[in-house]
Chain A
């Protein structure tokens, strides 16, 4: 955990510092007594940096000591593969939903996820993908929610 604390605290120090720099650029005070657009961001960014040291210092001071048992970052040998596929599917849907339209993108998304993350039988994949897409389309159309049509028109 100490390594994770080290990494995360350094990240938040950088994050806070970026906001502090941006706050100074935006102006901390508009005039004497009148706070500017960067005033609170500067204060909160500084607080974040300060708090991060409370996580960083113990992490550094215990670096050399015996490592405490911590859960592996990926708890299963398949974890990274499954996560990568899930993210790929999500990003693919985001990129494809407008050009392909709701129906095609949803069908492909479900087909992909059910085939590669937790592989199902072909029959289950086809029935589940088709039925879910149809029901989701019918539900959102009935609720008058505008769905992307793509070049197929649906």
Chain B
């Protein structure tokens, strides 16, 4: 009965004309940034934050959430048609999607990708409705030590699951935490590490940092290369509906992708990217004829595309029910909530039921809109793909500049963004990942206040983190993840043949 009343409230809010329009705009922009290589949803959300300032929180979050899950639909289009992923979670779709296009089957690849995305996304929203309330209820029992342990585990998982060196990822998490300590101390009000810059008393703003690390740096990396034109695969993409054989092959992959993607989306450090890779690996492993993968097997498109959308939906659970973003995209969305004076967490459903259920309702509708946008409008996206990067990058830079300026109507945020753009460029050159830095910057204040409250509660004893069952389990899990690569390395050296992470992956 409660489920029905929640569902009713969700659609009541989401179906308001303005919310409906903003949901459409959000998923449209999301698809657009997904289609365009070089601009991801993280940078887009941060640079569009200023346009939401005059909106109410419900409208703003519906728009921003639409961009976040919409991008995963659009990403597959470029993977299939030009063999370049529009966003990271569609990397794996290139393998079989592009091969299908080369064989003249771009239509079914795009069609199955959109249908799988819809089913995976819808499954994740359903699970969000069912699981978020009990998780939020359980999180109400959390005290400062549990929140510290959870944030610690989240950061550890982000570094553990990073694609590059784990040591470098941990270093970036440390840098993010340190940047989070800049500004007035939360307990004493004392200025820390501000170098006398007034702007920094309030802390380092998340948005210019994200715009710099993900927007400006990406443009700098792209323009320094020679301007090779993108070639869109010339093929017949009129027949979008998959054949009966395609359906028979894909249904299992979609089902497995939904469940796997959702659970990988929920865990801190997880999300759409890992979900898509895990789904591809699973499908290949259980296939009777794995040799077909890499040659244009539709299961290699259906599984990962379903999983990345299910993962994108699942990632909303920790943010909305506990207040802990489990990946960098959710961290930026958390910034969006906070700008509008809403703190996501266990009390969100009680204090802002219209916001919580309205966003959930808009996600159902947004998924349906995306199916419509991605199937009949595929011609439009293909045409957009042909816009040369030499005309796109000035637009990206301009939106970053306007976005940073309008945050506080001053040029200091613009300088900060440019600085982080250069830092992000250098980080890529030196092979450091920006995601742990952003997540740590967001979690830093939570971690610090919880840490200090915990130590005050325990009269300075660190054992408080180990004496409470939930926090102890979380801390031990985090330590296990930190130590396991080293242990595996040592064990692997003693027993040749056991695969271990390489030097760079320690």
Residues in chain B near residue A138, CB distance under 8 A: none
Given A26-B185, A35-B451, answer yes or no on A147-B406 (Cβ-Cβ < 8 Å). Answer: yes
Residues in chain B near residue A117, CB distance under 8 A: 223, 390, 393
Write the nearest CB–CB distance from B423 to chain A, whole angstroms.
Answer: 11
Residues in chain B near residue A128, CB distance under 8 A: 391, 394
Residues in chain A near residue B432, CB distance under 8 A: 8
Residues in chain B near residue A5, CB distance under 8 A: 430
- B: residues with CB less than 8 A from A are 50-51, 53-54, 165, 167-168, 170-171, 174-175, 177-178, 181, 185, 187-188, 190, 192-193, 216, 219-220, 223-227, 389-391, 393-395, 397-398, 401-402, 405-406, 409, 411, 414-415, 418, 421-422, 425, 429-432, 447-448, 451-452, 455-456, 458-461, 503, 506
Q: List 18 A-B contacts (CB under 8 A).
A: A12-B175, A26-B190, A38-B192, A39-B452, A44-B174, A44-B177, A45-B174, A48-B174, A55-B167, A74-B224, A75-B224, A83-B220, A94-B415, A109-B394, A110-B394, A118-B227, A118-B393, A143-B51
Is A54's CB within 8 Å of the partner chain B?
yes
Write the nearest CB–CB distance from A5 to chain B, whole angstroms.
Answer: 8
CA A32 – CA B131 in complex, angstroms?
42
CA A110 – CA B156 in complex, angstroms?
42
- The answer to whether B421 touches A51 (Cβ under 8 A) is no
Residues in chain A near residue B185, CB distance under 8 A: 26, 37
Residues in chain A near residue B188, CB distance under 8 A: 30, 36-37
- The answer to whether A90 touches B506 (Cβ under 8 A) is no
- The answer to whether B418 touches A41 (Cβ under 8 A) is no
14 further interface pairs, Cβ-Cβ under 8 Å (given A12-B175, A102-B402, A145-B54):
A19-B178, A22-B192, A40-B181, A40-B448, A41-B193, A55-B165, A58-B503, A90-B418, A94-B401, A113-B393, A118-B227, A136-B398, A143-B51, A145-B50
Write the chain B residue with the least CB distance to A89. Answer: B397
Is A63's CB within 8 Å of the partner chain B?
no
Residues in chain B near residue A97, CB distance under 8 A: 401, 405, 411, 414
Write the nearest CB–CB distance from A106 to chain B, whole angstroms.
Answer: 7
- The answer to whether B398 touches A144 (Cβ under 8 A) is no
CA A124 – CA B460 in complex, angstroms?
66
- The answer to whether A140 touches B402 (Cβ under 8 A) is yes
In the A-B complex, the 7 residue pairs with the closest CB atoms: A33-B460, A118-B390, A79-B224, A37-B185, A48-B174, A94-B414, A33-B459
Given A4-B430, A34-B455, A82-B223, answer yes or no on A148-B405 (Cβ-Cβ < 8 Å). Answer: yes
Write the nearest CB–CB distance from A51 to chain B, whole angstroms.
Answer: 5
- The answer to whether B414 touches A93 (Cβ under 8 A) is yes
Given A48-B174, A51-B170, A55-B168, answer yes or no on A94-B418 (Cβ-Cβ < 8 Å). Answer: yes
Residues in chain A near residue B50, CB distance under 8 A: 145
CA A78 – CA B390 in complex, angstroms?
15
Q: Is the interface of A mostly helix, strand, loop or mixed?
A: helix
- Within 8 Å by CB of A113, from B51, B397, B455, lies B397
Write the nearest CB–CB distance from A69 to chain B, whole angstroms.
Answer: 15
Given A35-B452, A39-B452, answer yes or no on A16-B430 (Cβ-Cβ < 8 Å). Answer: no
Residues in chain A near residue B506, CB distance under 8 A: 54
Write the nearest CB–CB distance from B21 to chain A, whole angstroms.
Answer: 13
Residues in chain A near residue B389, CB distance under 8 A: 118
Q: Total A-B residue pairs with C-beta atoms closer than 8 Å? A: 178
Residues in chain B near residue A60, CB distance under 8 A: none
CA A41 – CA B181 in complex, angstroms?
7
Residues in chain B near residue A66, CB distance under 8 A: none
Write the nearest CB–CB distance from A108 to chain B, whole angstroms.
Answer: 12
CA A128 – CA B168 in complex, angstroms?
42
Write the nearest CB–CB distance from B219 to chain A, whole angstroms.
Answer: 7
Residues in chain B near residue A16, CB distance under 8 A: 174, 178
CA A128 – CA B101 in complex, angstroms?
33
CA A122 – CA B390 in complex, angstroms?
14
CA A109 – CA B402 in complex, angstroms?
12
CA A39 – CA B460 in complex, angstroms?
12
Is A65's CB within 8 Å of the partner chain B?
no
CA A97 – CA B190 in complex, angstroms?
33
Given A4-B429, A113-B397, answer yes or no on A86-B53 (Cβ-Cβ < 8 Å). Answer: no
Residues in chain B near residue A19, CB distance under 8 A: 178, 181, 193
Taken residue by residue from 72 to 87, chain A's Cβ proximity to chain B (1 for < 8 Å, 0 otherwise) reads as 0111101110110011
Given A74-B224, A120-B390, answer yes or no on A47-B460 (Cβ-Cβ < 8 Å). Answer: no
Given A35-B455, A140-B51, A146-B409, answer yes or no on A109-B174 (Cβ-Cβ < 8 Å). Answer: no
Write the chain B residue with the least CB distance to A18. Answer: B193
- The answer to whether A145 touches B406 (Cβ under 8 A) is yes
Is A134's CB within 8 Å of the partner chain B?
no
- The answer to whether A75 touches B225 (Cβ under 8 A) is yes
- The answer to whether A87 touches B418 (Cβ under 8 A) is yes
- The answer to whether B167 touches A51 (Cβ under 8 A) is yes
Is A91's CB within 8 Å of the partner chain B?
yes
CA A136 – CA B429 in complex, angstroms?
33
Write the chain B residue with the least CB distance to A113. Answer: B394
Write the chain A residue with the least CB distance to B432. Answer: A8
CA A51 – CA B447 in complex, angstroms?
20
Write the nearest CB–CB distance from A72 to chain B, whole angstroms.
Answer: 10
